[in-house]
């Protein structure tokens, strides 16, 4: 790997874009989902670290669109399009959405990981972006980074080691 490669870090409930080269990364995904969009032709991509499935439950003053699947996915879509990505070439990958702790017989709140995944998929479908790679579910955390040169999504976890999508 090249020294001093540019790395864009995306925190929890944040989103960002990347152009031309470098890596875009988010760490410690548990029930949160990391969604990436990428256009291989113009080498433009985006990553959102989604925390909750729907902004309908938001009670915050100014809505943080990066936090909710239903607002974050359209937001990164608009951003990559505005940077010259084509809707026809865009592809999506996603990782995360695990259930870190399992309790028997508890309600929907504990299924937040799978619900995050479902919600992200629904938004991507609405936008007509194909999901070409997915590593979701399980009961472990993940760190992901996308290489803007190739669109490859690297996934690391404590239990399952390294993976590429």
Partner 1 sequence: MDLFKDYAEFKMDILKEIGNIGAGNAATALSCLLDKPIDMAVPKVQMLPFEAIAERVGGAEKIVLAIFFRVEGDAPGNLFFILSPEAAKKLLRRFAYLTVDDEEEFTEMEWSALSEIGNILAGSYLSSLADFTRLSLSPTVPALAIDMAGAILSYGLLQFGEMGDDALLIDTTFIEGQQEVEGQFFLIPDPESFDQIFTALGVPKNHD
- Stretch binding partner 1 (CB under 8 A), from 16-24, 27-35, 121-129, 147-155: 27-35
Q: Whose CA is closest to 65, among 10, 15, 120, 30?
A: 15
Among positions 16, 47, 48, 67, the unique one binding partner 1 when judged by CB under 8 A: 67
Q: How far is the CB of 8 from partner 1 (least distance, A)?
A: 15
Q: How far is CA 56 from the centre of its chain?
A: 20
Catalytic pick among 8, 15, 32, 33: 32
Binding-residue pattern over the window 77 to 116 for partner 1, x denoting contact by CB under 8 A: ---------------------x-xxxx-----x--x----
DSSP symbol at 30: S
Angstrom distance (rounded) from CA 16 to CA 48: 7
- Map the footprint of partner 1 across residues 118-147, applying CB under 8 A: 139-143
CA distance 142 to 106: 24
DSSP 52: B
- 148 catalytic? Reply is no
Select from 39-47, 52-60, 72-80, 144-152 the region that touches partner 1 (CB under 8 A): 52-60
Q: Tell me, by CB under 8 A, how many residues bind partner 1.
A: 33
Cα separation, 68 vs 135, in Å, equals 19
Identify the residue whose tokens are 């152009």: 19
Distance CA(146)–CA(126), nearest Å, equals 23
Please identify every residue annotated as catalytic. Answer: 32
> Interface with partner 1 by CB under 8 A: which residues?
11-13, 27-32, 51-52, 57-61, 64, 67, 98, 100-103, 109, 112, 139-143, 157-159
């Amino acid at each position: 790997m090249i020294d001093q490669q540019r790395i864009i870090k995306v925190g929890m409930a944040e989103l960002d874009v990347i152009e031309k080269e470098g890596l875009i990364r988010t760490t410690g995904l548990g029930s949160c989902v990391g969604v990436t969009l990428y256009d291989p032709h113009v080498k433009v991509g985006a990553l959102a670290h989604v925390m909750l499935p729907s902004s309908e439950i938001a009670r915050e003053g100014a809505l943080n669109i990066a936090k909710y699947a239903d607002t974050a996915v359209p937001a990164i879509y608009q951003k990559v399009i505005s940077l010259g990505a084509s809707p026809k070439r865009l592809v999506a990958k996603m990782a995360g959405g695990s259930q870190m702790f399992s309790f028997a017989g508890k309600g929907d709140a504990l299924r937040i990981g799978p619900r995050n995944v479902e919600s992200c998929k629904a938004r991507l479908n609405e936008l007509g972006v194909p999901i070409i790679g997915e590593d979701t579910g399980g009961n472990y955390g993940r760190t992901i980074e996308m290489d803007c040169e190739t669109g490859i999504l690297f996934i690391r976890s404590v239990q399952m080691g390294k993976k590429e999508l």
